[in-house]
Chains A and B, each alone.
Chain A
């Protein structure tokens, strides 16, 4: 079992957003870094194609290989530079540098040299970076150590957008704070230009990004106050000159010239992409409302497409005519996740804060962003430091018919505003529709809320800082003529003026537990009678939940004084308690299991236990180094049948949790891993073959053949290169003028299309032996038995042999197979001729 990040998501990188560099070539692909991998997306379909995996730490930069446009360099904090074939996702080479790398640059002038940012001191807080040129040794080996490092400059900003190569790679421009430096490689001379810290109007002049014109000697710089300066004549320390443009009201995050140099693109927090016409002063075009603030802009090498990455984990693909033509949206990343992680019972989508003022619905199954639900219904202003409405709480009822949300504004200032909203699911529009808005639900902010879990009556309980908890029910007053019924308050409860924090319904909704600081009160929702109180001082109750299914008689609570208690509600006595610091308690709705995340001595441990027994089912020590506050059990579509004791708790649902770094992580079992891997492999292969009439004709056949060819293989769904398809590909790929006459080929082609016998006869034994056979293999067996009479040729034998050798996971083996086929050259022809009927 393994902890994995969601494979198809951009990994949330709130720590160093500016490391999300991406490059863009040919317009078919977008590459972006994501955690320790580089992801390749198609710009046409907006689909994730594959990841370039191999780095062991954060990938910090990618750069296209100027010598070969199908290759890309990536650098990582693990101290390596890797060269990839990004179309097929193959790692070509690894260069070991030995220092953590923070950015990579290449220039067309410097063949075999990459420029890297490395930290000057081991202490990275010091933010002392230097730019080094690394000569990449030419060697046939897979892993090479690159030792030839030469420092270019030490006055480097940690921000990789503050360094750029100039025209034809003749110079490199880099800025730090208020100084712009231009280093000319030929002259080996640096020119420095400084701006004043502030001018009279209080402008902040610090550099934030740099771009160099591709044809002219012009450097564009972005500044903290939103100005863009175009520098020229920078070979003179005195007669240099610059012009200033000002549109952005906040820092310019990114600048990029189009490949022809006719336009300059800029973006910032306003989430407006601005296109400045180069050389035409202040003539500009805008593309507003793109989403989160723009972090990076890049253009395709032909200038046809622009691409912006946004702080909310999104890539927008924009045509050169300034129209959005595609959006690649990952899990929307807001400033913070204030709501719990929830599962929409209907769509089984993960629900959490998304765009500002929205809830996002994210399908974990399809790993795709579904939609944003606008809760606040106010225009969000993209400006730093504004206090705007934000969704802070949300809850679904058990059927997914009702959604309750709380939005809040003014947490920092004293005048708090908050609104409780109830949304009903509309079958017709297939979305949530606002039913009731309660502006003054409580006199102070709402701390928690939950729906009752019974199917019949839906009830919402909210607790607030004003010392009360309220129960809300639908449609109490009959005087409304409308057929819609609204929500109103049914009961207000309090206990000794203490502040309630958590509330929870038991599994059958017959009991409601509300804790008032140290005291847990148990209420009957039918009569609103205080049944009993439970107390286990010292320590305020932090989290509480009821057990499920067979353990529904138990109530579990955690306190701030590192205590995990379990009460038996039948006896109203403490069943057991243990001393553990629990930051999050999460019950599984489909089983008795409860997951507890414990944060101790700077790392998080996970305990999974049943309330009935104090011994944990599963313990994972030192899971991650951050505190975990959000977690959710996601029910599986179909339960797994894991016999392995340690992973049994994952059979019915999957545990997802969110770290403080905003990484969404999950536990996955070994079988899932395999499936994930194979599905990604299949994607690659499918994509490499264009959908042509030939493919439609031959592809089906090939699949059949593929099945026939691999009955003996343990994992039938693992793709491989069947012999038949190789011949046909070879046939189709050979230039027409070197092919034999069509009459000869025709018969060959037809014969190759015939369903040939795969020589199953030879291996019935092995077939019997294979225990882990999949369902469909039986069918294939029948199938192949029918074809038993088909002729057996030496060609087939060889093919069989090759198949046996192949271990399809390894690209090396595949290569070897390809080599073998190349060696045999046209001998396949004779084989086919021989087998002529």
Chain B
């Protein structure tokens, strides 16, 4: 498998932001997730929940609600603004200050035409009836139903306060759902899920779900299932089942309880085959509903998404520098140095500690969308939604200084993805319409060289760029799963890789063979020969034989593809839980062979080893990996972010009595 010196980096204090709202679009199978920091992410539900798009947030931009209207995505914030997003270019389209009152709610549909009766009480939640003629609003201590046409209140239903000490506290109706049959479901701060009849304004049934708050409610598309998220971190499911089998008198019955969160659940959504929940602990949990799944497979397993499916760490390969991308700033670190060699598996003595060179704060309110550091370590670039900044780093011994490159070409106003060429002479900036601008860098400054445009295809934003080692080729992947390859000499599109149904999660161009190696969200892998414009033989063998079951069952996408310059047949991949080296010279494993065979191999003799070894060598020494990078001195940099560390930085969860403690 080969030995590497590994820099185990644990000083990247990345904190995922808590999830505030979820919205599911059943037609496109996309899940929109709004986080506390104002960012909106789009996940593809049928493509193993790959995080397709990220729209970075802004300072002071709290999103309170998300809603799909057709294929358009809207959000409502605490500041009273309603925002529409441009999903193609992954940015905010426009914001309307609807009223200077905060709407805590979602569903923005023609809201500003409404002139409801003046309310003294705060409206906390809203839900439309499917007919569009009625609105249910959750407020303090009560729920009101409004007629949309007249704007008058039809019913006012009082929610009970808690008993005992909580008697004096107001009961906040955190969430309401208006079902098409006229039932209103409410979740409140007393811990009750209540069902009301909108005709009579009476309580039909109440379920005590928790001792704390019920913060979120969501109903499935065919309205036979309802999920409630509580501040204890539980998701409670209610189902609309017939009490007597074969008859139609159905009732809402509490059925399952899922506990996958440690903190408040702020948003739940029931999608076709699963319940998705997100909360203060910043993880997105996809709990499959086994009764809705036809075939149980890896695609339908319980999934917890902790980290973004994008790179947040960049390495200057030749100079041992690391760039960490935080939402509001960048950090540049120099790797430490260690002494001598040790036996495999042992840790080396650190001669020089890693040191933080730079803390670069973002100008303006926008958060960073992408960033990059050049392989030589001289150039740093980042882009927000509105601006792109390029810096030149001067590093002589202990003095570190940067200069901003002031005169940037106009095309570099903003970028979706940034990448340097391997000799650090060019910067590639992915722009709108799937185009890539090329800028040449020199001591004096930068100069616009040209734009690469795809021959045809979609205008979706590019999320991955890969430049070849020899400076000949550039590959770009966009969210429509298209991969375009450009010839940098001619600055023309060279070819397009056949479009696959799954999104590309990582790709790299082999330094010697110039083959493009691609990893897909469904864990498939492809190798495409750029020169011959076709899949390589190895890739065809992989497709024919299929990959091992255990490989396909992994639930996080591969985030980086690297090549070992010492051994051209080695491809290094990583996901959140493992590091893998694929030896293309060895046979592929089939489902009968032992996949994780390192220990077995160790116990065998040299001769036997040959017959037992296969192409996949998996290393699970590292956990919660954000990034793995091979740097020029043949050492690996592994950036870990242990989930325990993340958990300790979260606010304390609600105390719960545990049995026998």
- Is B244's CB under 8 angstroms from A243's CB? no
Q: A551 near B: Cβ within 8 Å?
A: no
Could you give, for residues 507-533 of chain A, a 1 whenever the CB lies within 8 Å of some chain B CB and a 0 otherwise? 000000000000000000000000000
Closest partner residue, chain B, to A232 (CB atom): B241
* Contact in complex: A241, B241 (CB < 8 Å): yes
B253 within 8 A of A: yes
B208 near A167 with CB under 8 A, answer: no
A282 contact from B208, B239, B255, Cβ within 8 A: B208
Contact partner of B208 (CB less than 8 A), chosen from A235, A236, A238, A281, is A281
Q: Does A831 contact B (CB under 8 A)?
A: no
The smallest C-beta distance from B295 to any residue of chain A, in angstroms, reads 12
Return the chain A residue nearest B251 by Cβ.
A279
Distance in Å: Cβ of B510 to nearest Cβ of chain A = 42
Instruction: Decide yes or no whether A347 CB sits under 8 A from chain B.
Output: no
Q: Restricting to B444-496, which residues have a CB under 8 Å from any CB of A?
A: none
Q: Contact between B257 and A243 (Cβ–Cβ < 8 Å)?
A: yes
Give the Cβ gap from A330 to chain B, nearest Cβ, in Å.
34
- Say yes or no: B253 contacts A280, CB within 8 Å: no
The answer to whether B246 and A281 have CB atoms under 8 Å apart is no
| CB atoms of B659 and A249 under 8 A apart | yes
Chain B residues within an 8 Å CB radius of A234: 245
How many residues does chain B have at the interface if contact means C-beta atoms less than 8 Å apart? 22
* Minimum Cβ distance to chain B for residue A226 (Å): 10
Closest to A231 in B: B255
B254 CB-CB contact with A under 8 Å: yes
CB–CB B255/A167 < 8 A:
no
Q: How far is the CB of A177 from chain B (nearest CB, A)?
A: 20
Q: Is A167 in contact with B244, judged by CB distance below 8 angstroms?
A: yes
Contact of B245 among A233, A244, A279, A283 (CB under 8 A): A233
Looking across the interface, which residue of chain A has its beta carbon closest to that of B293? A238
Which one of B209, B239, B243 contacts A218 once the chains associate, using CB atoms below 8 Å?
B243
For B659, what are the chain A residues with a Cβ–Cβ distance below 8 Å? Answer: 249
The residue of chain B having its C-beta at the shortest distance from the C-beta of A226 within the complex is B659
Minimal Cβ-Cβ distance residue in A for B192 = A281
Evaluate contact between A242 and B243: CB separation under 8 angstroms. no
Do B255 and A243 touch across chains, with their CB atoms under 8 A apart?
A: yes
Instruction: State in angstroms the CA–CA spacing of A649 and B251 once bound together.
Output: 72
A490 beta carbon closer than 8 Å to chain B: no
**Of all chain A residues, which has the CB nearest B253?**
A232
Q: Hey, which chain A residues are within 8 Å of B208, CB to CB?
A: 280-283
In the assembled complex, which residues on chain B have CB atoms less than 8 Å from the CB atom of A236?
A: 291
- Contacts A239-B291, A281-B254 given: A216-B244 contact, CB under 8 Å? yes
The A237-267 residues at the B interface (CB cut-off 8 A) are 238-244, 249
Which residues of A are found within 8 Å of B609, using beta-carbon distances?
Answer: none
**Closest-CB distance, A237 to chain B (whole angstroms):** 9
Contact B254 A217 (CB under 8 A): no
| A217→B257 contact, CB < 8 A | no
- Chain A stretch 788-808: residues in CB contact (< 8 A) with chain B: none
Are B256 and A235 in contact, CB atoms less than 8 angstroms apart? Answer: no
Query: B308 CB to closest chain A CB, in angstroms?
Result: 27
Q: Which residue of B lies closest to A233 (CB)?
A: B241
Contact with A along B220-255 (1 / 0, CB 8 A): 000000000000000000010111111000010111
**Contact partners of A215 in chain B: CB under 8 A:** 243-244
Whether A240 contacts B291 by the Cβ 8 Å rule is yes
**B245–A241 touching, CB < 8 Å:** no
Interchain nearest-CB distance for B235 vs A (Å): 13
Whether, in the assembled complex, B394 has its beta carbon less than 8 Å from a beta carbon of chain A, the answer is no
Q: Which of B243, B245, B255, B291 has the most CB of A within 10 A?
A: B245
List A contacts of B251 (CB < 8 A): 279
Q: How far is the CA of A613 from the CA of B243 in the complex (A)?
A: 78
State the CA gap A218–B255 with chains docked (Å): 12
**How far apart are A167's CB and chain B's nearest CB, in angstroms?**
7
**CB under 8 Å from chain B, chain A span 568-610:** none
B169 within 8 A of A: no
Question: CB-CB < 8 A to B255: which residues of A?
Answer: 232, 241-243
CB distance from B558 to the nearest CB of A (A): 27
* Alpha-carbon separation in the docked complex, A249 to B243 (Å): 29
Answer whether residue B545 sits at the interface, using C-beta atoms and an 8 A cutoff.
no
Q: Contacts A167-B244, A216-B244, A233-B245 hold; do A243 and B256 have CB atoms under 8 A apart? A: yes
Main secondary structure of the interface of B (DSSP, over half): strand
Q: A240-B291, A241-B291 are in contact. Are A235 and B246 (CB under 8 A)?
A: yes
Give the distance to chain B from A384, nearest Cβ to Cβ, in Å: 14
Taking a contact as CB atoms closer than 8 A, the residue among A216, A233, A280 that contacts B207 in the complex is A280
Least CB separation from A237: chain B residue: B291
Residues of A within 8 A of B620 (CB): none
From B208, B244, B290, name the one whose CB has the most chain A CB atoms within 10 angstroms.
Answer: B244
Our pick among A217, A242, A280 for the contact of B256 (Cβ within 8 Å) is A242
| B239 and A241 within 8 A (CB) | yes
State the CA gap A491–B134 with chains docked (Å): 95
Shortest A272–chain B CB gap in Å is 14
- The answer to whether the Cβ of B549 comes within 8 Å of any Cβ in the partner chain is no
Knowing A238-B291, A279-B205 are in contact, say whether A243-B253 is a contact too (CB < 8 A). Answer: yes
Report if A281-B209 is in contact (Cβ < 8 Å); known contacts: A243-B256, A244-B256. Answer: yes
- Render A282-311 as a binary contact track against B, CB cut-off 8 A, 1 for contact: 110000000000000000000000000000
A381 to B205: give the CA distance in the assembly, Å: 38
* Shortest Cβ distance from residue B473 to the other chain A in the assembled complex, whole angstroms: 48
The answer for the CA separation of A233 and B225 in the assembled complex, in Å, is 13
When the two chains form their complex, are residues A243 and B291 in contact, meaning their CB atoms are under 8 A apart?
no
Instruction: Produce 1/0 per residue, A208-219, CB < 8 A to B.
Output: 000000011110
Residue of A nearest to B256 (CB): A243
**Nearest Cβ on chain A to B578's Cβ, whole angstroms:** 21
Least CB distance, B275 to chain A, in whole angstroms: 13
Minimum Cβ distance to chain A for residue B256 (Å): 6
Q: In chain B, what residue has the closest Cβ to A239?
A: B291
Give the shortest distance, in Å, between A257 (CB) and chain B (any CB): 13
The residues of B that contact A279 with a CB separation of less than 8 Å are 205, 251, 253
CA distance A232 to B251 in the complex (A): 11
Instruction: Please give the distance in Å from B114's CB to the nearest CB on chain A.
Output: 36
CA distance A236 to B246 in the complex (A): 11
Bound Cα distance from A458 to B126, whole angstroms: 86
Chain A residues near B257 (CB-CB < 8 A): 243-244
Name the distance in Å between B303's Cβ and chain A's nearest Cβ: 16
8 Å CB interface, B334-364 against A? none
Least CB distance from A635 to B in Å reads 51
Interface string of B643-661 (1 = CB under 8 A from A): 0000000000000000110
When distances are taken between beta carbons in the complex, the residues of chain B under 8 Å from A244 are: 256-257
CB distance from B506 to the nearest CB of A (A): 31
Chain A residues within 8 Å of B253, by CB: 232, 243, 279
In angstroms, how far is the closest chain B Cβ from the Cβ of A16? Answer: 31
- Whether the Cβ atoms of A243 and B241 lie closer than 8 Å is no
CA distance in complex: A283, B209 (Å):
10
Judge whether B256 and A216 touch: CB under 8 Å.
no
Task: Kindly provide the distance from the CB of B384 to the nearest chain A CB, expressed in whole angstroms.
Answer: 43
* B188 vs chain A, min Cβ distance (A): 15
B243 and A216 within 8 A (CB): yes
A232: chain B residues at CB < 8 Å are: 239, 241, 253, 255
Distance in angstroms between the alpha carbons of A590 and B239 in the assembled complex: 74
Residues of B within 8 A of A239 (CB): 291-292
A-B contact pairs, 30 of them (CB 8 A): A167-B244, A215-B243, A215-B244, A216-B243, A217-B242, A217-B243, A217-B244, A218-B243, A232-B239, A232-B253, A232-B255, A233-B241, A233-B242, A234-B245, A235-B246, A236-B291, A238-B290, A238-B291, A240-B291, A241-B239, A241-B241, A241-B255, A241-B291, A242-B255, A242-B256, A243-B253, A279-B253, A280-B208, A281-B208, A282-B208
Residues of B bordering A, CB below 8 Å = 205, 207-209, 239, 241-246, 251, 253-257, 290-292, 659-660
- Shortest 5 CB-CB contacts between residues of A and residues of B: A216-B243, A217-B245, A243-B255, A241-B255, A239-B291
Given contacts A216-B244, A249-B659, 17 further A-B contacts (CB under 8 A): A167-B244, A217-B245, A232-B239, A233-B239, A233-B241, A233-B245, A234-B245, A236-B291, A239-B291, A241-B241, A241-B291, A243-B257, A249-B660, A279-B251, A279-B253, A281-B208, A282-B208
